[in-house]
Amino acid sequence: QKEVEQDPGPLSVPEGAIVSLNCTYSNSAFQYFMWYRQYSRKGPELLMYTYSSGNKEDGRFTAQVDKSSKYISLFIRDSQPSDSATYLCAMSARGGATNKLIFGTGTLLAVQP
Amino acid sequence: DAGVTQSPTHLIKTRGQQVTLRCSPKSGHDTVSWYQQALGQGPQFIFQYYEEEERQRGNFPDRFSGHQFPNYSSELNVNALLLGDSALYLCASRKADTQYFGPGTRLTVL
């Protein structure tokens, strides 16, 4: 079993829709949770960073972490065609100098105009 | 402020050859990590360098080695290339608890 599970999609939605992306994990030691966006043939771009449980909002993006269920989510409101990309969840057990990131496989999102 | 930079952008090698990839971290970042991303997969951690030493290593063979220089830049070396080494190699530099990725080097092994 992988430490981090993520539905690879593809997920296709119309412009303006609310998008929900999710990851589950098995390692209860994970405390730091991130969402990255990756356009085709580019490096991952950090979107959201959350420590421990709770919600965090930044513009059209909301990240949620439920450590009791080992489940994290990213919501995108008013989705735009420019949001079409692969979304990667990542997590680590420690901060500081040894924060190796464990990634999900990524979900491919297509927002149709 | 330049972000993380990597060179070359892409390259093609044949089985058995050796390759060196380079990374310059963001200004003010002192820790560099390397990841391998196969097509359709998430990045896999190779190793991390801090203060010119390898601090942590993922599940990769000794064919994968690295180096960090006093200016915090880093190199990834892969010896005896295999077809399965074809991937996007990503460098990430760290500040506090977040990592920022470069554009990657796409390696194709024929």
- B14-48: pLDDT as tens digits: 999 999 999 999 988 889 999 999 998 999 999 99
Least confident of A43-57, A73-87, B5-19: A43-57
Backbone angles phi, psi at B88, to 5 degrees: -95, 125
pLDDT on residue B1: 59
Interface contact A37, partner B, CB < 8 A: no
Are residues A6 and B55, on separate chains, in Cβ contact within 8 Å?
no
Q: What is the mean pLDDT of chain B?
A: 94
pLDDT on residue B42: 95
Q: What percent of chain A has pLDDT over 70?
A: 96
When pLDDT is cut at 50, 70 and 90, the band that residue A59 belongs to is very high
Q: What percent of chain B has pLDDT over 70?
A: 98
Q: What percent of chain A has pLDDT over 90?
A: 78
By a Cβ cutoff of 8 Å, what residues of chain B touch chain A?
A: 4, 6, 31, 33, 35, 40-45, 48, 50, 55-56, 58, 88, 90, 92, 94, 96-104, 106
B47 CB burial (10 A radius; 0-12, 13-18, 19+): buried
List CB contacts (< 8 A) between A46 and chain B.
Answer: 98-101
Q: What is the mean pLDDT of residues B59-81?
A: 97
pLDDT on residue A2: 83
Q: What is the mean pLDDT of residues B58-78?
A: 96
pLDDT on residue A96: 56
Q: What is the mean pLDDT of residues A52-64?
A: 93
Least confident of A85-89, B27-31, B72-76: B27-31
- Rounded Cα gap, residues B28 and B4, in angstroms: 11
pLDDT at residue A95 tops 70: no
Q: What is the mean pLDDT of chain A?
A: 92
pLDDT at residue B72 tops 70: yes
Alpha carbon of B15: minimum distance to chain A alpha carbons (Å) = 23
In A, minimum Cα distance to B102 occurs at A43
- Rounded Cα gap, residues B9 and B83, in angstroms: 19
Among candidates B31, B45, B102 on the partner chain, residue whose Cβ is nearest the Cβ of A43: B102
- Rounded Cα gap, residues B82 and B17, in angstroms: 9
Mutate to test the interface with A, among B98, B105, B106, B108 (most CBs of A within 10 A): B98
pLDDT at residue A97 tops 60: no
pLDDT at residue A1 tops 80: no
Alpha carbon of A33: minimum distance to chain B alpha carbons (Å) = 10
Q: How far is CA B103 from CA A74, B52, B53, B96, B109, in A?
A: 23, 23, 24, 21, 19
Residue-by-residue DSSP string for A46-111: EEEEEESSEEEEETTEEEEEETTTTEEEEEESS--GGG-EEEEEEEES--GGG---EE---EEEEE
